[in-house]
Amino acid sequence: MPQFNQDFVEKVRTAVDIVDLISRDIKLTQRGKNYVGLCPFHDEKTPSFNVNRENQLYYCFGCGSGGNIFNYLMNTRHLSFPEAVQFLAQQAGIELPHQSPAQRELASKAQKLRELNRLAAQYYYRMLRTSSGEYARSYLMQRGINDHLARHFYLGYAPDSWDGLVKFLQSNTELPLELAEEAGLIIKGKHGYYDRFRNRVMFPILDLNRRFIGFGGRIIGSGNPKYLNTPETIVFHKGKNLYGLNWSRDSIKQNGCIVLVEGYTDCISLHAKGVTNTAASLGTAFTEQHAKLIARLTNNVVIAFDSDQAGVKAIQRGLEILVDAGLNVKVAPLPEGLDPDTFARNHSAKEVLSWIEGAVPYLEYQINLVVSQSDINSLEGKIKAAKEIINILSKIESVIVRAEYSNYAANLLSIDPDVIVEELKRTAGHQVYEEKLSKEGRNSHITSQNRYTIKDLRTNHQNLDISSEQTEAIESCVMRILLTNPGLIDEMINAGLDADSFTNSDYSYLFQLLVADAWDKHGEAVAEQLLTAPEPPGRWSDYLQLFRENIWFRSINSIEEKLTGLENLKEPDVLLKLCQLLRTYVKVRREIFLAKSKS
C-alpha cells in the first residue's frame, strides 16, 4: 500500500465534498451552515450527527464520533488510512503519486483480475438458476441453504462442461484469456483453454472492500478434491483473507467480536441463525496476517471449530497466533461429532446464540481439554495432566492470571492449589529470570544516535517531557533499523504510521523512498549517513512503541495549545472544532493508557 505526503492528502481532502460523500450513506438535511442526519455509528431517533461542508468535518453529539472524510471511510468501510486516501483519490480522478511503471502495471493487472472474478461470479450465479443447476440447488437445500441465503452470499454453480466460463468471458469482456488463467479461473491445455471449476457449488470470496478475489468450489457428488480453491494470485491469498468478512464486517464492529469457523457452510449457517459476525478460514491455518486483519475490526475473537480431532488441533494452532497478536480469545466448544454447520441447522437461533455466548476463555478451554483427555482418576494420569497444565500456565506473564487458573486447574484435578503454584514457580522461574535479564540488558544500551537510553526515554515520556533531541533520537533509531530491515515497513503501515509520522523531513522522505522501493541521490546520502552508525540493539517492538508514544505525546501538546487558543466558543463552527479537539484528546489519552497497561 503506497504512502502519501501531506500535500497529496490535502489535495484529495479538498477535492472530495464531505456532504456528498456522507449523503451516499445517510440522508442529510441542511440547518444553517451544517447538515444533520441520523448517526451511522449508533442507533438514534433524533438526528445528532452534524456535517460541516466548509470545514470538511463531521461530529456526532450523541456518541462523540467525528473526523474528516478519511476518518469517515476508515470507520464505515474499515479501511486503513492509506486505503481511504487511495479510494477517495480514485473516486476524485486524482492520479496516485510515487508509483513506478511497474507498480502502476501491477495495480492495473490486479484491477483486471478482480473484474474477471466478478464476471465469473456473475456466470456461476446465473448457472445455479438454470436447469443445469437443479442438482446443485437441491444440494444446497439439503444443507439448509435456501434461495434467500444463496442469493445473499451470491452462491453459484460451475456446470460440468469443458469451457462454459471460457465462452462466457469471450462474449462479455475484451480482457484476454491469459489474464483469466492468471486469475485461476481457467487452465490452458494442448487444445486451448478449459474451465478450472466444473460440477461444483461455487462460493465467491470477496476482500474486506467487497471486491471479488477468488472462489471456493465444492464438488457435487463424488470426486476429488472435495473442495477446490482459487490458486494464489496477486489478489487472492488464503493466508491474508477470510471468507464472509465482507458480509460480517459491520456486524463485527457492532458486536465488538468476531466468530471464526472453518468452512463456508459453517459461516452461512451461523449467519442464517443471526450470528452475522461470523467469518471462516479458507482451508488454511491462521496466520499473522489473519490476526492483523481481524485486529482492524475487533480485539475479541470466538473460535467455533469442529469438535473432531482435526478441529481441536486447528483450534490449538489458531490460539497461538491470535493470542500472540494481543487479541482476546475465547473458544465455543461443541459436543463430540458436531460441527457448527450441523449444530446451527438442528438448533434454534436462541440456542445457537446461547452456544456462542457461552464461549470460555482460551486458558479455561485448554485446561478443560487437558483434563478431558487425561485419566485423572489414576495417579499417573493426574500428574501428567498437571504437568501439561503447568506448561501452559508458565507462558502467561500475569501473576494474577496464573494464580486464578492454578486454582481452577487444582479444583478439576482435586489437588492442593499450592502444589501447582509452587511447581509453576519452579517451571516459570527460569523463564521470568531470563526475561528480566533480557529487559535490563536492553534498557542499559545507549542508542546509536544520542546519549539517551531506552529507559531514559520511557521515563521522560511518562512525564510528557518531549524534547526535539529525544524525538530525533527515536526517529533516527527507527529509520536506521528500517534501512537494514525493510520488511518491517509493513508493520509500520499496519500500525497506522506513514511518512508524515516523522518530524525529520529527511527521514520522512527516506520512508517514502523505502515504501516505493525507489532511490535518488538525496535519499542515498541520508541513508549513507544513518548507516555509518551501528544498528540499535534490542527489540524492534521497543523502538516502534517509543516512536508511537512520541507521536501521541506530541499530539497531546499540540491539542492543548490549540484548546487554549480557541475563542468565541458559542459560535457553531468553533464549538464543532472544540468537540473534535476534545474527542481527539480523549482518544490519544486512552491510547497512552492502554499502551501503559499492556507494558
For the chain, 599 residues long, the average pLDDT of each consecutive 10-residue run is 73 90 90 90 88 88 86 83 86 78 82 96 97 96 95 97 96 96 95 95 92 96 90 92 93 91 96 97 85 87 89 85 90 91 96 97 95 92 92 85 91 90 69 42 36 46 60 87 78 81 86 75 80 73 83 70 58 59 62 55
Q: How many CB atoms lie within 10 A of CB 336?
A: 12
Q: Tell me how far the alpha carbon of residue 225 is from its chain's centroid.
A: 30
CA distance 550 to 270: 44
Residue with cell 517509543: 546
Contact 581, 490 (CB under 8 A): no
Contact 262, 224 (CB under 8 A): no
User: Which among 202, 274, 213 has a CA at the least distance from the CA of 246?
Assistant: 213
User: Which among 481, 483, 474 has a CA at the least distance from the CA of 554?
Assistant: 474
Grid coordinates representing 47 are 438526528
Q: Which domains does the chain have, with CATH numbers?
A: 6-91 (3.90.580.10), 107-229 (3.90.980.10), 245-358 (3.40.1360.10), 375-442 (no CATH), 454-598 (1.10.860)
CA distance 133 to 220: 11
Predicted pLDDT of residue 582: 61
CA geometry: angle 166, 172, 173, nearest 5 deg: 90
CA distance 25 to 73: 11
Long-range contact list for 591-594, CB < 8 A, 24+ apart? Answer: 591/552, 592/549, 592/552, 592/553, 592/556
Radius of gyration of the chain (CA): 27
CA distance 472 to 476: 6
Contact 144, 240 (CB under 8 A): no
Predicted pLDDT of residue 448: 36
Predicted pLDDT of residue 583: 66
Predicted pLDDT of residue 570: 52
What are the DSSP E strand ranges found in 343-451? 360-361
Predicted pLDDT of residue 371: 95
Predicted pLDDT of residue 360: 96
Q: How many CB atoms lie within 10 A of CB 359?
A: 21
- What is the DSSP secondary structure assignment for residue 256, as one 8-state letter? T
SS3 245: helix
